[in-house]
A and B are shown apart, each in its own frame.
Chain A
Amino acid sequence: MRSPRPTSSVADIERDSRSKVDEQARDGLHASDAPASAEGTTATATRPVQAERGLSVRLEQLRAFYGSTEPIKGIDLEFRANEVTAIIGPSGCGKSTMIRCINRMHEEIPGARAEGRVLLDDLDVYDPTVDVVAVRRAIGMVFQKPNPFPTMSIFDNVAAGLRLSGRRQRDLQGKVESALRSAGLWDEVSERLGDPGAGLSGGQQQRLCIARSLAVDPEVILMDEPCSALDPIATLKIEELIDRLKQRVTIVIVTHNMQQAARVADRTAFMLDGRLIEVGPTQEIFTRPADPRTEEYVTGKFG
């Protein structure tokens, strides 16, 4: 087993996170220039300058709509920085919709909108001055079905996020390699980076997609049932990966598999019918749930 990424000296990490602060201040999470530097730096200044580079995400009275239906009916929930939070609940309870609200992918669906606040650290991603593109760069997403870009090679798939950002990239090679190493895929593909990404196995494709989202250096990664299309061995690899990645990022994972939630998550949230029923340390949710509905669900009485 390869170690997650050579953890360099403290000085290195400090330099790393400082350059990140600069970068954010320069590019800004904001569309307009004026408030960018001001709020951008306050947002980053409150962040501990430590190895933990993930940011917390807090939902405040989040509601989501598709036309006149309301799949998310007001949720308050915090995802702590550098922790893995699992979202469990029966099909159709709004798990996917909820995490799609966090990186504002929900609004891509015609007729869909969201209300309430989603605070990334202390920045409301729904603030009108915030640039949605910057939000999605800070909050990566891994989808249910592995979906590498079919026209691109393995290398280009990982580089896609960097290239699609339109900024000139220094050391693209290095960034791609580091993302592939972090996703635990480097040893399997380093000899054939030019091959089509779609030619990999399902599990490798999903790790490729994780590498792709890691390459843009997000603070949060949302995973929407990332293992539901994978076999048990590939699933295990992804779960080990999640465990290592939380050093770097905050992870929110939607899962149908309660063993998976129990294995990977620090905290678990149970949702039902568009509402948050209960959230707490995973151990507690599975052994001493406060709400009888949670107990019924985790013991398999419904769902």
Chain B
Amino acid sequence: MSARPTSGERLARFAVSPARRRKDTFARMAILTATVIALIPLMLIIYYLLRKGLGSWSTSFFTTDPTGNTFFKSSSIGGIKSAILGTIEIVALASVIAIPVGLGVAVWLVEYGKDSRFAQTVRFFVDVLTGVPSILFGLFIYIVLIVGTGSSYAGYKGSLALALLMLPVVTRATEVILALVPGALRESALALGAPRWRVILRVVLPTALPGMVTGVLLAIARAAGETAPLLFTAAATLKTNFNLGQFMNSLPVQIYSDVTSPTTAVVNRAWGAALALVTMILLLNVIARLISRRSRLA
């Protein structure tokens, strides 16, 4: 039979060994370093955006179109009004198309399709679509709606390209959130004698709302920043235009064309436009978060 252990023996058995302490410190440092490294480029981007972009901001920057004289006077090159309005219109139409369809697909996958073969197939293609480079959506619309119909660029064609891009993002994000809603909630609502569609509308969707808002926002932000799908579907005008059936400017396309200009003032306008785009997306995030917080009870 073992005797009562001495305090030294007890220490040897229960104390944290130096080797383990070293491993713990190392692991913590590694994770912290990774976090800091990830933050560096993010901070730098914001820093440069503010430093270079704020300089070109002025009232006229937001109230004039980029149609000024770029050769002689740098003060008269014009602002980004048409680009901001164009982005808002194009993205709004794309959202109106993609969000309801994407939500519908997600609800079907989670509530009805479940693990059926067809649902698995849909899920597979949604995943494939998420990985498709954005320029392909632009190309697709270009070939079908511009080359195919022999017509020219239009704002709504840009919206369609962006909608295609948003669709898989909205679907995947909301599907994940809907699948997180506990099955017990659905069951107890069904057991109360509620038809399935009412259970979805009144119990499942409200419970998932905050998460769905985040998912939808990610998709909108992604679409708002895309240049490639708009280059040969909507762009090539600099004037303000409210008709989605005609050429339409947008922030990403404006940035794209300004950055390659030899004129310093025009390049600076690109920085200002980039800052405006980031600010818009930030505002959208804040607003949506406020809305979803208000609607959440618990």
Contacts and interface: CB of A to CB of B under 8 A. Distances in A.
Interface string B185-225: 11111111111001100110011010000000000000000
B293 interface: no
A196 B192 CA distance: 19
Q: Looking at A140, A160, A163, A166, which has the most chain B CB atoms within 10 Å of its CB?
A: A160
A143 interface: yes
A110 interface: yes
Given A147-B184, A151-B207, A196 B191 contact: no
A108 B187 contact: yes
Interface stretch (A63-71, A72-80, A129-137, A263-271): A129-137
B191 A147 contact: no
B114 interface: yes
A153 B297 contact: yes
B111 to A, nearest CB: 11
Contact of B192 (A108, A110, A153, A213): A213
Contacts of A238: none
A213 B195 CA distance: 15
A94 B295 CA distance: 40
Contacts of A166: 195, 198
Main secondary structure of the interface of B (DSSP, over half): helix
Query: In the complex, which range does the number of interface residues on chain B fall in?
Result: 20 to 34
A293 B265 CA distance: 91
A125 to B, nearest CB: 12
Contacts of A108: 186-187, 190
A150 interface: yes
A212 B186 CA distance: 14
A140 B295 CA distance: 29
Interface string A154-170: 00000011011110000
A179 B43 CA distance: 57
B194 A143 contact: no
Nearest to A111: B115
A99 B115 CA distance: 25
Contacts of A212: 188, 192
A216 B185 contact: no
Contacts of A134: 193
Contacts of B207: 149-151
Given A149-B207, A150-B298, A153-B297, A136 B192 contact: yes
Contact of B298 (A137, A161, A199): A199
A209 B297 CA distance: 18
A105 B203 contact: no
B189 A149 contact: yes
A105 B198 contact: no
Contacts of B295: 151
Nearest to A162: B192
Interface in A210-227: 212-213, 216
Contact of B191 (A110, A136, A163, A199): A136
Contacts of B187: 105, 108, 143
A152 interface: yes
Interface residues of A, number: 33
A187 B190 CA distance: 28
B182 interface: yes
Contact of B193 (A143, A165, A196, A199): A165
Interface in A160-217: 160-161, 163-166, 196, 198-199, 209, 212-213, 216
Contact of B114 (A110, A133, A145): A110
A37 to B, nearest CB: 20
Interface string B27-38: 000000000000
B114 to A, nearest CB: 6
A161 B194 contact: yes
Nearest to B184: A147
Contacts of B192: 136-137, 140, 160-161, 164-165, 212-213, 216
B120 to A, nearest CB: 13
B117 to A, nearest CB: 12
Given A164-B189, A212-B188, 18 more contacts: A103-B191, A105-B191, A108-B186, A133-B193, A133-B194, A136-B193, A136-B194, A137-B193, A140-B192, A141-B191, A147-B182, A147-B184, A149-B185, A151-B206, A160-B189, A166-B195, A196-B297, A196-B298
Interface of A: 103, 105, 108, 110, 133-138, 140-141, 143, 145, 147, 149-153, 160-161, 163-166, 196, 198-199, 209, 212-213, 216
30 contacts: A105-B187, A105-B191, A108-B186, A108-B190, A133-B194, A136-B190, A140-B192, A141-B188, A143-B184, A143-B187, A145-B184, A147-B184, A147-B188, A149-B189, A149-B203, A150-B207, A150-B298, A151-B206, A151-B207, A151-B295, A160-B202, A161-B194, A164-B189, A164-B192, A164-B195, A164-B203, A165-B194, A199-B298, A212-B188, A213-B192
Interface of B: 114-115, 182, 184-195, 198-199, 202-203, 206-207, 209, 295-298
Give the 6 A-B residue pairs with the shortest CB-CB distance, closest first: A137-B193, A164-B194, A161-B192, A141-B191, A136-B193, A151-B206
